[in-house]
Structure 1
């Protein structure tokens, strides 16, 4: 079969979004297309070697982590004022350039945290509840079509970007050995979904 390179559906963008930090729709479109192009290029090489699709090799959590990192880097490249946070595991992922020394901060307030998930609606686990600009990319992976190389390529279906507060989260109890996380509660998710950027379900 001939592999398909996905294209961002321009008509799925919110025609009048409220975006912080001088972000533009073209920034999101370019970042999403960068991910599509990367997966296509990698899968072309894997297919030529008779190996499995990249999406099928990755565990869901690893795939989401990779996509989040790629989107963060691409948004920083295309954005007018946001840059990657150079602090390892610093928060947020994208920070306003020139605000923090060497564009590096452990816990800053000026910027956007970037997450990706397969969960429709944008619910995603965080390492803590805090006031922040939160951007969530929801994507879909076809793991069912057979043969595997006939599967649809990875596709973004939803993008949300909204400001949430610490009280918009619920704490997740994972037991003594589990990592404590926080997830937006029902009201928090409703708030986030009001500020949708892209819907292509």
Structure 2
């Protein structure tokens, strides 16, 4: 655990970083689908083949040599070409919608994550300042009372269990805060190595 750069999570709320990798990925997918549509548009035109032939003849009948010209193009007999164009157009529309949806929801998601982090921090602060102190003092009082013979062993175990449960809750809250900060960093385009945060 000592190799994990936890210091990065202390700087989670920096200004917007320009390296939003998820947005770049969506932009590259949109560009690829745009190129696929333009390739399909070019593929709709039939391939024209022009030909020129020359045949040398012996001048037996006095008509000379033969010269011929030809133009050929395929007649589309299946809708495979048109179906692939429709598929490329649908993929482009889906890529545009994903990018637009991401851009619209990014600020809302960042704000929601920020509120969740603040809420978890408040819960942790209350747990540290009030609940854990109360559980620890309750445990100490019950242990002194048990030493004097005022309470039974079951009551002592109950107070210890309550204190340990509150400590586990503190650990769970700390982990949830770190998880939300990582989500915030990822969505905001931050890096997880401390040297590159500057």
State the TM-score, normalized to the length of structure 2. 0.22
The structure showing larger relative contact order (alpha-carbon pairs under 8 Å, at least 6 residues apart) is 2
Please state which structure has a larger fraction of its residues in strand. Answer: 1
State the TM-score, normalized to the length of structure 1. 0.22
Bigger radius of gyration, 1 or 2? Answer: 2
